[in-house]
Structure 1
Amino acid sequence: MKAIQQLTLVIFFGLIAGCATMNETSRLAGKWKLTESLADPGDGSGKWNAVTNESYLTFNTDGSVSSTDSPNFQTYKVLDSVKLEFTLNDGRKQVVSYKTEGSTLTLTPQCIEACGSKYVKVN
């Protein structure tokens, strides 16, 4: 009987974790327009700057991703509430931190100096 209760708990928490990932995936799904970028020259003086070119990142609910700036991106996977994993054309994986606030998405890849991109959802 105790084994059945433990199994039930494992399944329950697994379903909750899966639902959280699905919620994050559905929140990311859609087309995002790049609005700001952050680049630091190495002295901590980096600031978010407006972007004037038309650049988009599209997350699809099937896990595929496309970008006008990074055509190497093939798929994405929500690892947890703050990390995404992109798979590139050559099979390499790239993990980036992400944060959503309303209709804004901030991506911060692993850089030696501060770097990042901010997007606004367009659909």
Structure 2
Amino acid sequence: MNNYIAFCLFFSLLSLSTCEKNDSEVVGNWLLTEVLADPGDGSGVFTPVDSDRVIQLKDDGTYSANGNLCDFQIVANASSSGIYNLEEGTISPDNCATIGGTPIGLSVDGSTMIITYLCIEACQHKYERQ
């Protein structure tokens, strides 16, 4: 019985710590700094990129960007917007025909944000807080 109580207490505390991470911790501008594109053998690593792509996460759960998040490009040549959800770990661009409305993966750890695209092999963008 004591193990069960300890188990429940542990997961309750874990849930609370997850809930404490709120949108206000990620609100602001994020600059694309690195890209991971695995060649198919699991050897892919993040490599630095020279990009002006910025995503602005807003406190109402929406975002705006100066690049199209519907694809894996690094250019900053189009305005885009959508919603994000930290609890679900997703970012969902508006009007994104290329991914058929499927949310893109999103994770934030301190000053690093990772966007995980839907690819056969691993493909991610790494952003740094500005």
Instruction: Name the TM tier (shorter chain).
Output: 0.5 to 0.7
If each structure's strand is expressed as a fraction of its own residues, which one has the higher value?
1
Q: Which runs of 4+ in 1 moved over 3 A?
A: none
Superposition map of 1:13-92 within 5 A = 20=19, 23-70=21-68, 71=78, 73-78=80-85, 80=87, 83-89=89-95
Matching residue of 2:128: 120
Could you tell me whether the CA contact under 8 Å between 2:34 and 2:47 is conserved in 1? Answer: yes
CA deviations 1:47-86 (Å, max 9, x no partner) are: 11001122211111223311222147422131625x1131
Answer with 72-81 or 45-54: which moved more.
Answer: 72-81
- Name the amino acid aligned to 2:19: A
Mapped partners of 1:25, 1:94: distance in 2? 21
Query: 2:55, 2:63 → 1: CA distance?
Result: 7
Paired residues of 1:85 and 1:93 also in contact (CA < 8 A): no
Is contact 2:86-2:106 (8 Å) kept?
no
Distance in structure 2 (CA, Å) of the matches to 1:24 and 1:38: 27
Aligned residues: 105
- Native 8 Å contact 1:59 1:66 kept in 2: yes
SS of equivalent to 1:66: strand
TM-score, normalization by structure 2: 0.65
Match of 1:108 in 2: 116
What CA distance in whole angstroms lies between the structure 1 residues aligned with 2:96 and 2:49? 28
Q: Secondary structure at the match of 1:93?
A: coil
Q: Using structure 1 for the length normalisation, give the TM-score.
A: 0.68
Unmatched 5+ stretches in structure 2: 1-14, 69-77
